[in-house]
Structure 1
Amino acid sequence: MFVVTGATGQLGSQIVDRLLDRLPPDAVGVSVRDVDRAAGLAERGVRVRAGDFTDPATLEHAFAGADKVLVVSASIRGHAAIAANRAAIDAARAAGANRILYTSHQAASRDSLFAAQPTHAATEEHLAGLGVPFTALRNGFYASTLSLSIGTALETGQLVAPADGPVSWTAHADLAEAAAVALTEDGVLDGVTAPLTAPEMLDLEAVAAILSDIMGRTVERVVADDDEWRASAIARGMPAAAADFTLGMYRAARAKEFAVTDPTLETVIGHRPARVRAVLETLVAHR
């Protein structure tokens, strides 16, 4: 049994789809907080069970019989996220899983300026210390995150954001495919992986140029002062904690924390990962 957590989320749902391309439905299980949202998977023959990282007692049932468990990182922040990820990993070990996989990040580091990265680093350290075969998938920065930056640009013609730096924006679909390979093919990805990234790095000025070409009109990149951007974001309704979290992403980018590419993802999935332009075309089409 291969168990995937977060199977109704953007990444987890695609991982399950790719697993079902490789395995019969009765070999796949999912752990989700809301089983009703996974009704479609149950109809396809997938085992659906309720599991919540913040309520570890639920995970014993959710992970029962699992040979491998893929823990999609908790969608919460701070120390609570570390505790939640550890709870899921510990439950997978207690269930007898012979490999535990975790969706980490290309820039996982205790010293990162982006608050998500120390969480990933701490989770990787915990996972590595359990003595169980593991894979920490160091996923490239999710390209869909660009929707946070380009939203108003499509209306105003200005991409306004703090100073940034090059990022190897990577599509969820490619990372989901790599996760399915890691789950089903022994020896392909073991331990902490190389960065699983698309082959190009772009800053927001380059993104604005691509948007201009897609839309047939100029999108100007405007660099905002950090404090002014934060105040503006909060005024538009963004919670202060979320604004600080996002600002950390820009600060880390301009420190070149995400300025890395690696061929591992292409090697694992057997084709060239999606380029940023393709992701932007999709984002624009769905706005």
Structure 2
Amino acid sequence: MAQYWRHGCSPRILFVLLIVQWIANLFVSHSFVWLLRKLTPDQMIVLTGATGGLGSQVLKYLLTLVPPSDITVSLHNPAGLDPSVASTGITVRKGDYAVPTSLDAAFAGADKLLLVSYPSVAHELRVKHHVNAIEAAKRAGVKHVYYTSLAFGYGTKPESCAAVMQAHLDTEAYLRKSGLKYTIIREGLYNESYPLYFGFFDPAKDTDVYVPGDGPIAWASRTDLGEGTARLLALPPSDTRFDNTTLLLSGPASNLLTLAQLSSLISTILGREITLHIISRDEYVKKHLDESGKIARLTEDYLGKWATTFEAMGRGETGIVDPTLQELLGRPLKTMEESLREALNASRDKHLDLYATAQY
């Protein structure tokens, strides 16, 4: 303040300047962050599926947005949580979708619940587990349930011809009628899950890819989706923009790619021609059933159901671009090319692990 005194500032002006400087220092200090947290009511956020591909990313980013003491994870196997994550100060509880009483204890005291969809293609089992979680949330007095759905259905419409989407649609309908405040998040199709849609592509050996249809997909990276979901969870209760809504978190227009375009991109990255073949649904089932030895658990039932995703793609269900994810993140989204280069460079000599890339 000496420079102001030398320039003839009056004591009154000098006092005002001192106050302004003190306030400025307060805003950049740890004390202000502590004070802000004290003035903002704590919200307990319970995460399910926090060791999975999406859930682990949500937890990673949520830890940068709220205090660890506000986070509880509900896991069917708490021992599976990375010790470095468990040591951050979050609360870890045992909760199993198949055991409703365990969910009562896991969700106790929660203000918000992230219900990560159960990873299965078994429709009835999946819906039953989701209903168990929703009913437990009601009993526990949870104020707001966030559900991770999937980006089929023309954006946010309650319809789809994809078999994998049917359990999501049933869960969405049940949640809307539950009386709970909800946010249904239709998570974009992962960049990282491209092998599922690209004929179970094995970069270590495949040169020909066989699928029963094609259509545009607004691909989004799992890391971006995890961060976007975390930012939704961290919003204060006063921000009601997403209350009782269904929203789509998609990739940007630059990530809107068909499988044919994906084939060209992969060919460029690998430096060898990858040829896409469009075949009938029956041929698709037979071909991949004959090759089921290279990928465990590819059954006729699974392949028949999975073939319906290509019909949905062809109808345009997965080709909707929505700005919400980029708006939540406030930065450009990861490109499909960037994700492909990372995945293909890491797996040139490795065979496909179907379940490491799965998204249901």
What TM-score comes out, normalization by structure 2 length?
0.76
Larger Rg belongs to:
2
Counterpart of 1:190 in structure 2 is: 243
Tell me how far apart the structure 1 counterparts of residues 159 and 246 of structure 2 sit (CA, whole Å).
19
Q: Do the aligned partners of residues 39 and 259 (structure 1) sit closer, same or farther apart at CA in structure 2, a change above 3 Å counting?
A: closer
- Report the Cα offset of residue 105 of structure 1: 1.9
1:259 aligns with 2:319: yes
Unaligned runs of 5+ in 1: none
Match of 1:101 among 111, 131, 146: 146
Task: For 1:1-287, list aligned pairs within 5 A.
Answer: 1-40=44-83, 41-76=85-120, 77-108=122-153, 111-148=159-196, 149=198, 151-152=201-202, 154-186=204-236, 187=239, 188-200=241-253, 201-237=256-292, 238-287=298-347
> What's the secondary structure of 1:195's corresponding residue?
strand
> What's the secondary structure of 2:93's corresponding residue?
strand
Q: Do the aligned partners of residues 38 and 189 (structure 1) sit closer, same or farther apart at CA in structure 2, a change above 3 Å counting?
A: same
- Matched-pair contact (CA < 8 Å) for 2:214–2:260: no
> What's the secondary structure of 1:156's corresponding residue?
coil
Q: Tell me the percent identity.
A: 30
Unaligned runs of 5+ in 2: 1-43, 293-297, 348-360
Tell me how far apart the structure 2 counterparts of residues 194 and 34 of structure 1 sit (CA, whole Å).
30
Tell me how far apart the structure 2 counterparts of residues 22 and 141 of structure 1 sit (CA, whole Å).
25
- Matched-pair contact (CA < 8 Å) for 1:26–1:45: yes
- Matched-pair contact (CA < 8 Å) for 1:134–1:191: yes
Tell me how far apart the structure 1 counterparts of residues 72 and 192 of structure 2 sit (CA, whole Å).
26
- Report the Cα offset of residue 193 of structure 1: 3.2
Q: Do the aligned partners of residues 61 and 118 (structure 1) sit closer, same or farther apart at CA in structure 2, a change above 3 Å counting?
A: same
- Report the Cα offset of residue 245 of structure 1: 2.5
Tell me how far apart the structure 1 counterparts of residues 346 and 106 of structure 2 sit (CA, whole Å).
34
> What's the secondary structure of 2:148's corresponding residue?
strand
Bigger drift between 188-197 and 82-91 goes to 188-197
Bigger drift between 63-72 and 107-116 goes to 107-116
Tell me how far apart the structure 2 counterparts of residues 285 and 71 of structure 1 sit (CA, whole Å).
33
Tell me how far apart the structure 1 counterparts of residues 252 and 79 of structure 2 sit (CA, whole Å).
38
Counterpart of 2:357 in structure 1 is: none
Question: Cα RMSD over matched residues?
Answer: 1.7
What TM-score comes out, normalization by structure 1 length?
0.94
Deviations 1:142-188 (A, max 9, x none): 22221232623552322222222111111111111111111111325
Tell me how far apart the structure 1 counterparts of residues 109 and 345 of structure 2 sit (CA, whole Å).
42
